[in-house]
């Protein structure tokens, strides 16, 4: 059992009560360790009902400046704190998240749309991720030593990190940045997506007394707030997760002050099923990794290449699986998959389905948006499309999967790599050696064999090509929140 699966096994099943009362406007910014209501507010929509169910502060330029100033003021003391002190603070944050997991999960369901079980999985997984990252060390390396000199490589914190996160896993993907940045002695201004700001604001609130004032500031607002962060002269590094177009804008606007950047961007992950694949064994993980979080996962299977010999069998078995799953309000008992998170993404999914019909796709299930309120789109599987069609070439980021035929290993590798994306990919086969050899030829940051999207806090994760710059997690990801200093000492 891989570390990611072990975590799901441990944390994924405990339900929170959907009846918990949640105040509509009880969400504030965290600036310099204090609650700031924000001079303006904006509504947050529940994607299952399309109703505004809560409000978040819309941080002004002055409030952002105050957060950046607080983070800069807190930096010298936080950098000087011992590693044990910083670890203690992050572990205290993990305790708070665990204590508040049902409340955080309730917020996540209402703002993100995911099922309650998946929201609990995200909330408790956030605590687990915080603890795991704390265990990572970046020891000083001795590069060389002789009678005359000793040369050491040190990892130093950078300063104020601006963290900007998306709406699919609002809390967990924020912690992928908070944990390594604070562990290594940086301070932070964290901005969640305007679609899903609330669980992250609540995280800021419940952990306010875990770190000294100013070490972690949480601000919510629109895309413009993100731009202000990336342009800010007193922010020293940007860690961003989101779409490739936004990543490009961030790279451009960070250039003004030559900020360090880590960009975790979109993907269009291929999974390749060779002719000898045991379909019954792989159908569950393939299905889960395509439709998890209603397909709103950066590293979900988004193009399923299946060998001619098993093509119809795979189509039939995936379709049968889809018929056993329920799409609905994440708060309702029995819901497996929630709605698409927002109107913009829902329209993209609807448009791709329409194009797929026009291009002659064979819809094995789903295909038409649900009637009534909510951004519900059924689990949709489309056969008989090939490369060049929009559904195969573009990232749908929703519950729609094209199943594409192939007959030749070299040809399918060429097609899988014929994209500007390069996040992840997988090869599935009874012949693990051949699959490994093929996976190593995928032009992706992660290449999996007989599995897909198996993540761990201890493994680096990131994209190549236009799927990103740099990695998160593991010592490699933690090191991205540091700069190198060579300490070259002449012995007297």
Catalytically active residues are 264, 298
Binding mask 396-415 for ligand NAD (x = CB under 6 A): -x------------------
What are the structure tokens assigned to 67, written together?
């957060």
What are the structure tokens assigned to 229, written together?
């962060």
**239 touches ligand NAD by CB under 6 A:** no
Interatomic CA distance for residues 377 and 409, integer angstroms:
33
Instruction: Among 102, 113, 157, 166, indicate the residue that binds ligand NAD (CB under 6 A).
Output: 166
Which residue lies nearer to ligand NAD by CB, 164 or 385? 164
Neighbours of 302 (CB within 10 A): 30
Which of 37-45, 164-172, 208-216, 370-378 is the region at the interface with ligand NAD (rule: CB under 6 A)? 164-172
**164 touches ligand NAD by CB under 6 A:** yes
Interatomic CA distance for residues 204 and 218, integer angstroms:
6
Instruction: Among 214, 266, 295, 470, indicate the residue that binds ligand NAD (CB under 6 A).
Output: 266
Q: Judge contact between 46 and 343, C-beta under 8 A.
A: no
Burial of 62 (0-12, 13-18, 19+ CB in 10 A): exposed
Please list the alpha-helical segments (H only) found in 330-488.
343-358, 390-393, 409-417, 432-439, 474-479
| Segment 56 to 115, residues that bind ligand NAD, using CB under 6 A | none
What are the structure tokens assigned to 302, written together?
């988004």
**265 touches ligand NAD by CB under 6 A:** yes
**246 touches ligand NAD by CB under 6 A:** yes
Spatial CB neighbours of 454, under 8 Å, sequence gap ≥ 6: 2, 3, 4, 5, 448
Which residue lies nearer to ligand NAD by CB, 238 or 286? 238
Residue 361's Cα: distance from chain center in Å? 30
Helix (H, G, I), strand (E, B), or coil: what is residue 53?
strand
Helix (H, G, I), strand (E, B), or coil: what is residue 209?
coil
Which residue lies nearer to ligand NAD by CB, 121 or 167? 167
**394 touches ligand NAD by CB under 6 A:** no
**423 touches ligand NAD by CB under 6 A:** yes
C-alpha pair distances (Å), 438 with each of 269, 275, 448, 492: 15, 14, 10, 55
**210 touches ligand NAD by CB under 6 A:** no
- Pair type for strands 51-58 and 40-46: antiparallel
Instruction: Among 241, 262, 450, 473, indicate the residue that binds ligand NAD (CB under 6 A).
Output: 241
What are the structure tokens assigned to 450, written together?
């007989």
Instruction: Among 180, 267, 402, 425, indicate the residue that binds ligand NAD (CB under 6 A).
Output: 267
Q: How far is the CB of 179 from ligand NAD (least distance, A)?
A: 15
Burial of 104 (0-12, 13-18, 19+ CB in 10 A): buried
Interatomic CA distance for residues 27 and 430, integer angstroms:
51
Radius of gyration of the chain (CA): 23
**223 touches ligand NAD by CB under 6 A:** yes
**270 touches ligand NAD by CB under 6 A:** no
Interatomic CA distance for residues 313 and 288, integer angstroms:
17
**226 touches ligand NAD by CB under 6 A:** yes
**243 touches ligand NAD by CB under 6 A:** yes
Which residue lies nearer to ligand NAD by CB, 329 or 472? 472
Which residue lies nearer to ligand NAD by CB, 241 or 482? 241
Which residue lies nearer to ligand NAD by CB, 57 or 102? 57
Please list the alpha-helical segments (H only) found in 44-115.
61-80, 83-99, 101-112
Q: How many residues bind ligand NAD (CB under 6 A)?
A: 29
**277 touches ligand NAD by CB under 6 A:** no
**463 touches ligand NAD by CB under 6 A:** yes
Interatomic CA distance for residues 164 and 259, integer angstroms:
14
C-beta nearest to ligand NAD: residue:
226
**167 touches ligand NAD by CB under 6 A:** yes
Instruction: Among 154, 249, 325, 390, indicate the residue that binds ligand NAD (CB under 6 A).
Output: 249
Instruction: Among 227, 260, 354, 357, indicate the residue that binds ligand NAD (CB under 6 A).
Output: 227
Interatomic CA distance for residues 123 and 55, integer angstroms:
21
| Residue 130: its H or E element | helix 116-134
Q: How far is the CB of 280 from ligand NAD (least distance, A)?
A: 30
Q: Judge contact between 42 and 76, C-beta under 8 A.
A: no
Which of 137-145, 158-166, 354-362, 402-410 is the region at the interface with ligand NAD (rule: CB under 6 A)? 158-166
**168 touches ligand NAD by CB under 6 A:** yes
Q: How far is the CB of 265 from ligand NAD (least distance, A)?
A: 5
- Pair type for strands 482-490 and 149-157: antiparallel
Which residue lies nearer to ligand NAD by CB, 231 or 359? 231
Residues that bind ligand NAD (CB under 6 A): 164-168, 173, 191, 193-194, 223, 226-227, 230, 241-243, 246, 249-250, 264-267, 298, 395, 397, 423, 463, 468
């Amino acid at each position: 059992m891989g570390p990611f699966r072990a975590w799901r096994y441990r944390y994924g099943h405990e339900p929170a009560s959907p009846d918990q009362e949640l105040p509509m406007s009880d969400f504030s910014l965290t600036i310099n360790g204090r609650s700031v209501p924000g001079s303006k507010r904006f509504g947050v929509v529940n994607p299952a009902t399309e109703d505004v169910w809560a409000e978040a502060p819309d941080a002004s330029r002055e409030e952002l400046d105050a957060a950046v100033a607080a983070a800069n003021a807190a930096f010298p003391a936080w950098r000087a704190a011992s590693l044990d002190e910083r670890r203690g603070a992050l572990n205290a944050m993990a305790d708070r998240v665990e204590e508040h997991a049902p409340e955080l999960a309730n917020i996540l369901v209402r703002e993100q749309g995911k099922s309650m079980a998946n929201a609990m999985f995200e909330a408790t997984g956030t605590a687990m991720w915080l603890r795991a990252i704390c265990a990572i060390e970046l020891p000083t390396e001795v590069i060389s030593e002789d009678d005359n000199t000793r040369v050491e490589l040190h990892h130093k914190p950078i300063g104020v990190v601006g963290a900007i996160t998306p709406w699919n896993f609002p809390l967990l993907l924020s912690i992928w940045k908070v944990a390594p940045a604070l562990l290594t002695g940086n301070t932070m201004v964290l901005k969640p997506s305007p679609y899903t700001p609330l669980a992250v604001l609540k995280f800021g609130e419940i952990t306010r007394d875990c770190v000294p004032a100013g070490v972690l500031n949480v601000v919510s607002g629109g895309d413009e707030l993100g731009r202000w962060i990336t342009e800010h002269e007193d922010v020293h590094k940007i860690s961003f997760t989101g779409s490739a177009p936004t990543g490009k804008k961030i790279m451009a606007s960070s250039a003004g002050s030559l900020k360090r950047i880590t960009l975790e961007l979109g993907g269009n992950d291929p999974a390749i099923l060779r002719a000898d694949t045991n379909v019954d064994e792989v159908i569950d993980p393939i299905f889960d990794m395509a439709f998890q979080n209603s397909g709103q996962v950066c590293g979900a299977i988004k193009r399923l290449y299946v060998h001619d010999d098993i093509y119809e069998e795979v189509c039939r078995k995936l379709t049968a699986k889809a018929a056993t799953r329920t799409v609905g309000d994440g708060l309702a008992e029995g819901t497996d998959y929630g709605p698409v998170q927002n109107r913009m993404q829902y329209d993209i999914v609807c448009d791709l389905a329409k194009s797929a019909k026009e291009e002659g796709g064979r819809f094995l299930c789903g295909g038409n948006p649900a009637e009534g309120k909510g951004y519900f789109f059924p689990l949709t599987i489309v056969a008989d499309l090939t490369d060049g069609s929009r559904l195969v070439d573009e990232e749908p980021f929703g519950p729609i999967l094209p199943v594409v035929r192939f007959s030749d290993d070299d040809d399918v590798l060429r097609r899988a790599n014929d994209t500007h994306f390069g996040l992840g990919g997988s090869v599935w086969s009874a012949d693990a050696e051949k699959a490994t050899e093929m996976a190593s030829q995928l032009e992706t940051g992660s290449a999996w064999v007989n599995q897909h999207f198996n993540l761990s806090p201890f493994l680096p994760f990131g994209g190549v090509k236009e799927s990103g710059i740099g990695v998160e997690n593991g010592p490699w990801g933690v090191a991205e929140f540091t700069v190198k200093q060579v300490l070259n000492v002449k012995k007297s």
